[in-house]
Amino acid sequence: MIYLKKFFEEHKIISIEIVVCKAIESFFILLCAKFLTDLISTMNPEFFPPAILFFVLKFFAGMFEERKFSVLSVEVQKSLRKKIHEKLFDREMSGGELFTILFDTMKTLDDFFVKVAPNLVALPILLPIFLAAAAVKDFTTAIILLVTLPIAPLLLYLTGKATAEKNSRALSELQKLNGEFKEILSATVTLKIFDRINPAAKKLKAASKKSSAATLDVLKFAFVSSFMLELLTTLSIALVAVTLGLRLVSGNAEFESALFLLLITPEFFAPIRRAGTAFHILISAKESIERLKKFFAEESPESPEKIEKLLVPPEISLEKVSFVYPQKKSPALREISVKFPAGKISCIVGESGSGKTTLLKILAGLYLPTDGEIFFNDLPAKKFRRESLFEKIAYMPQSPHLFDTSLEENFSFFNLLDDKNLPELLKSLDLNFPDLSAKQKLSRGQIQRSGFIRVLLKDKSILILDEPTAGLDEITEKKFLKLLKDFSLRRTVIIASHRRPVIEIADFVVNLEVAEF
């Protein structure tokens, strides 16, 4: 299980708090069993309160441990999602692969942290403590526990390879299903026009059946292995109980010791019994970790040579840049060659479908050109570290996104931006919000202006704006453009727009034509 060991070490899953908490929980179980034994053997009610107390303390220790793993799960998923999102800019991948990694893989890891990781931590801590306690009370019983203990892990090892193979097939089928669903969903209008909805639905149904069958195979194996493990642990507990009963009848064991051992034996086997329930999750987690490892290890198309510094504001040049969307044959852009001057406002104009938005996304680094090259101050974009390039670019899409949180966090991008100029910017665009610390429903024009303010607060040397004044009235548009003009000093600004006022303030205009087929 080397892959799990490395994963645990990398994400600091086994912490001192968890180990101590698990050890304390095991001692609470032993003390609770001790006082229950004294209560039953002496019928003295004085032993009842401490037994209940230690039972409650054991319950709270388990809650604390569960909370620690839940928080850890969230932190690891956030870290992995951030790495995945950064990696997405560096490579192309199918929709099915992306959906599987972002959603199903993360869900599997969450199940791993909540159901499997606590059990893996419990095994090396609880078992030695309970085994030592059993040896102190009765050495024969401790030998029985020690001999029957390896049977369950051996069974899990034997079923592990077959389960892993079936789980890999299930993930592959699920990835295909995700890809089919995304493809059909994106082409719904075209399929409807050409009356191909029913064949597409049949194709999706067939993929769904294959995915369901593969998943059912995994569940069947998980059920059988869980049943066998449950049966083996039950027989082991029964063996201890029968042995103690016979020895009690023959007078070779004390009642108090036998009762204590009978109380802790189910707890001794409890982590192993839970391991059977969580075994298929463990196999799925292995596949998910291997999938993530492969995803992160794949080479980026960037050149190994990197240049950190970029003189600002830069001149941006495109040389025969073309772009074709995945699974499309016709190019959205064809051999575009243009220079955007440094420290100036450039406006891209053209008919709908000419590729203005696509070009802006390429300039912002969200898309990589299929062919051609982009230069910043005569240096190829591929020679820059992508993170250093992103640090200098602020991009505003046609429809800025408003997060489901307070306006203050929306403007400051969750406290990542310096918002000391926020009141002045809000005033300049006639945005009067009584309470920035609250959530508010904004109109299209307010969202548009709020997105622009967020871009300005980023204070980048390259501003890329896609139809920034769409939906604004004439007076608001004038204020918007005045603010843009003031902020454009010592910045390279590139705008896509069909609005005449926007074109008039531009220092340089690029007319983009629809790509010819």
The pLDDT value recorded for residue 412 is: 81
C-alpha distances (whole Å) from 262 to each of 53, 149, 267, 409 are 21, 16, 9, 57
The pLDDT value recorded for residue 305 is: 46
Residue with tokens 């303390």: 57
The pLDDT value recorded for residue 395 is: 92
- Phi and psi at 44, nearest 5°, equal -95, 115
Q: Among 399, 413, 414, 500, which residue's Cα sits nearest to residue 446?
A: 399
Minimum mean pLDDT among 20-24, 150-154, 287-291, 505-509: which range? 287-291
In three-state secondary structure terms, 251 is: coil
Q: Is the pLDDT of residue 94 over 50?
A: no
Question: In terms of C-beta density within 10 A (0-12 exposed, 13-18 middle, 19 or more buried), how is residue 135 classed?
Answer: middle
Can you give the three-state secondary structure of 371-418, one letter per residue? EEEEEECCEEHHHECHHHHHCCEEEECCCCCCCCCCHHHHHHCCCCCC
Query: Which whole number is the average pLDDT over 338-350?
Result: 91
User: Which residues, at least 6 apart from 145, have a Cβ–Cβ distance to it below 8 Å?
Assistant: 130, 131, 134, 236, 240, 265, 268
| pLDDT range class, residue 8, cuts 50, 70, 90 | low
The pLDDT value recorded for residue 506 is: 92
Q: Is the pLDDT of residue 360 over 70?
A: yes
Q: Are 97 and 179 in contact (CB under 8 A)?
A: yes
Beta-sheet strand order (sheet of 492-496): 393-396, 462-466, 492-496, 345-350, 508-512
Query: Which whole number is the average pLDDT over 324-353?
Result: 86
Q: Is the pLDDT of residue 464 over 90?
A: yes
Residue 413 gets the label, from left (phi > 0), alpha (psi -120 to 50) or beta, of: left
**DSSP run (H or E) holding 496:** strand 492-496
* Encoded tokens for 121: 């931590």
The pLDDT value recorded for residue 154 is: 72
Q: Among 87, 67, 52, which residue's Cα sits nearest to residue 21?
A: 67
The per-residue DSSP string of 258-297 comes to: HHHHHHHHHHHHHHHHHHHHHHHHHHHHHHHHHHHHHHHH
Q: Is the pLDDT of residue 457 over 80?
A: yes
The pLDDT value recorded for residue 408 is: 84
The pLDDT value recorded for residue 60 is: 84
Q: Of residues 517 and 377, which shows the higher confidence score? A: 377
Q: Of residues 355 and 205, which shows the higher confidence score? A: 355
The pLDDT value recorded for residue 348 is: 92
| pLDDT range class, residue 25, cuts 50, 70, 90 | confident
Q: Is the pLDDT of residue 509 over 60?
A: yes
pLDDT tens-digit map of 232-284: 778 888 888 898 888 888 888 888 888 888 888 888 888 777 766 666 666 66
Query: Which whole number is the average pLDDT over 215-227?
Result: 68
The pLDDT value recorded for residue 276 is: 61
Minimum mean pLDDT among 171-180, 202-211, 508-517: which range? 171-180
Q: Is the pLDDT of residue 5 over 60?
A: no
Q: Of residues 157 and 248, which shows the higher confidence score? A: 248
Query: Which whole number is the average pLDDT over 432-439?
Result: 83
Q: Of residues 473 and 164, which shows the higher confidence score? A: 473
The pLDDT value recorded for residue 302 is: 45
Minimum mean pLDDT among 47-61, 91-105, 133-147, 205-219: which range? 91-105
The pLDDT value recorded for residue 173 is: 62
Question: In terms of C-beta density within 10 A (0-12 exposed, 13-18 middle, 19 or more buried), how is residue 462 classed?
Answer: buried
Distance CA 364, CA 359 (A): 9
| pLDDT range class, residue 388, cuts 50, 70, 90 | confident
The pLDDT value recorded for residue 488 is: 87
Distance CA 224, CA 227 (A): 5
User: Which residues, at least 6 apart from 441, have a Cβ–Cβ distance to it below 8 Å?
Assistant: none
pLDDT tens-digit map of 296-331: 665 444 444 454 556 678 889 999 888 888 767 788
Distance CA 287, CA 427 (A): 53
pLDDT tens-digit map of 171-206: 666 656 666 666 666 677 777 777 777 877 777 777
Q: Of residues 302 and 478, which shows the higher confidence score? A: 478
Q: E-strand spans in 37-192?
A: none
Query: Which whole number is the average pLDDT over 92-113?
Result: 63
The pLDDT value recorded for residue 301 is: 46
Query: Which whole number is the average pLDDT over 401-420?
Result: 80
* Encoded tokens for 335: 């051999």
Radius of gyration, alpha carbons of the chain: 32
| pLDDT range class, residue 378, cuts 50, 70, 90 | confident
Angle between helices 255-297 and 16-42 (to 10 degrees): 160
Q: Are 479 and 410 in contact (CB under 8 A)?
A: no
Query: Which whole number is the average pLDDT over 26-38?
Result: 85
* Encoded tokens for 23: 């050890």
Percent of the chain having pLDDT more than 70?
Answer: 75
* Encoded tokens for 94: 């199918």
Question: In terms of C-beta density within 10 A (0-12 exposed, 13-18 middle, 19 or more buried), how is residue 241 classed?
Answer: middle
Minimum mean pLDDT among 185-199, 406-420, 442-456: which range? 185-199
Q: Are 410 and 450 in contact (CB under 8 A)?
A: yes
Q: Of residues 315 and 8, which shows the higher confidence score? A: 315
The pLDDT value recorded for residue 492 is: 92
The pLDDT value recorded for residue 418 is: 74
Query: Which whole number is the average pLDDT over 485-514?
Result: 88
Q: Among 514, 112, 129, which residue's Cα sits nearest to residue 275?
A: 112
